[in-house]
Amino acid sequence: MTSITITRPDDWHLHLRDSEQLRAVLPYTARQFARAIIMPNLKPPVVTTDMALAYRARILAVLPTALQSNFEPLMTLYLTDNTPPAEIVRAKESGVIHGVKLYPAGATTNSDAGVTDMAKCYATLEAMEQNNLPLLVHGEVTDSDVDVFDKEKVFIDRILMPLTQRFPSLRIVFEHVTTRDAVAFVEQASSNVAATITAHHLLLNRNAIFQEGIRPHHFCLPVLKREIHRQALLEAAISGNPKFFLGTDSAPHSQANKENACGCAGIFTAHAAIELYATAFEQADALDKLEAFASFYGADFYQLPHNKDFITLNKENWVVPEQLEFAGERLIPLYARESLAWKMT
């Protein structure tokens, strides 16, 4: 195959940051995707409907003129121990907030204000269930005695499974799943539970973090896992099961913050997101499954219409830039200086 045309995709999990960093990274996403679920882990986090509306306005304000009306940010709230149920009603009524993000406190970048104990959120989760507002989950426990490679599996057993039993009608997106355990959990769960899969977790296993030295640009959370897990993710992605759909988790950090004695977690993939997914699907000989994964299943789960226009990818080698401009700093994209075989026209 030398060319593939698919319905324009959406990104169901994206970090855009704010201010000049937002201005720098937004065009990469808006060029490819019609919509994106925008993560609320800013400093300070987006905890109220008013904050989400203001953030949305800031995003739209820096959208390049050529892409105006071609890109819609789908906003989220950041769940805290103290998010009142009334905030859920306001969020739903806004019409522009499509989910509430659960970060276990301390799990990842800007998660300090996250949830310390699920029981503190029960009334709010009940309001989400009643108002049909999905919970978007960063699925890792934070206990320091749990091995970093087991944090997702332990989260399923201790937090997620009980949550689905207590709130059976709550719609849940298990974000960026990284293990075969997570795939199995989502498969056996009710139709209210779905998952996003990143391109980097489809393409890389944990060896990539230690290739001839330590590779900070391959460090993300949840951390890359063993090859058996990558295989399980790939099988889920190409299975045609509508519970699994595209979410890049593209997460920009400056080169200085990545190449650091305590480097930040996050892999930037927005510069080539759909191309990276095409690469993974092609390796699995399943390019025919890309469109539904990238353009239909997420919209269906979020109860939004499919996009009406199309994008085309050509089989064409191109070299990923060494670095990108990032608000006066440098941003190192995934596969910098390496060649990719697909290019969006």
List residues near ligand DOR by CB under 6 A: 15, 41, 108-109, 138, 220-221, 251, 265-266
Distance CA 233, CA 255 (A): 28
**Degrees (nearest 5) of the Cα angle 300, 173, 188?**
90
Tell me which of Zn ion, ligand DOR, none is bound by residue 109, counting a contact when its beta carbon lies within the kind-specific cut-off of 5 to 8 angstroms.
ligand DOR
Q: How many residues bind Zn ion (CB under 5 A)?
A: 1
Closest CB 309 distance from ligand DOR, rounded Å: 29
Nearest Cα neighbor of 283 from 213, 340, 330, 221 is 340
Residues 222-281 contacting Zn ion, CB under 5 A: 249
Q: How far is the CB of 251 from ligand DOR (least distance, A)?
A: 3
> 288 catalytic, yes or no?
no
Pick from ligand DOR, Zn ion, none: which does 124 bind, CB < 5 to 8 A by kind? none
- With CB under 5 to 8 Å by kind, the binding choice for 115 among ligand DOR, Zn ion, none is none
How many beta carbons lie within 10 A of that of residue 282, not counting itself?
17
Residue 80 site contact among Zn ion, ligand DOR, none (CB < 5 to 8 Å, cut-off depends on kind): none
Give me the sign of the Cα torsion angle 113, 117, 118, 124: negative
For 21-75, the DSSP string reads HHHHHHHHHHHH-SEEEEP---SS---SHHHHHHHHHHHHHTS-GGGTTT-EEEE
Nearest approach, Cβ of 330 to Zn ion (angstroms)? 21
State the minimum distance, in angstroms, from the CB of residue 10 to ligand DOR: 19
265 binds, among Zn ion, ligand DOR, none (CB under 5 to 8 A by kind): ligand DOR
Query: Closest distance between ligand DOR and the C-beta of residue 313, in Å?
Result: 26
Catalytic residue among 50, 249, 288, 309: 249
Which is closer to ligand DOR, CB of 21 or CB of 307? 21
Contacts of 87 (CB under 8 A, 6+ apart): 47, 48, 49, 77, 124
Q: Output the residue with the shortest Cβ distance to Zn ion.
A: 249
Give the up-direction half-sphere exposure of residue 332: CA atoms within 13 A in the CB hemisphere: 18
| DSSP per-residue string spanning 196-229 | EE-HHHHH--GGGGGTTS--GGG--SSPP--HHH
C-alpha 226/C-alpha 204 separation (Å) is 9
Residues taking part in catalysis: 249
Q: Which residues bind Zn ion (CB under 5 A)?
A: 249
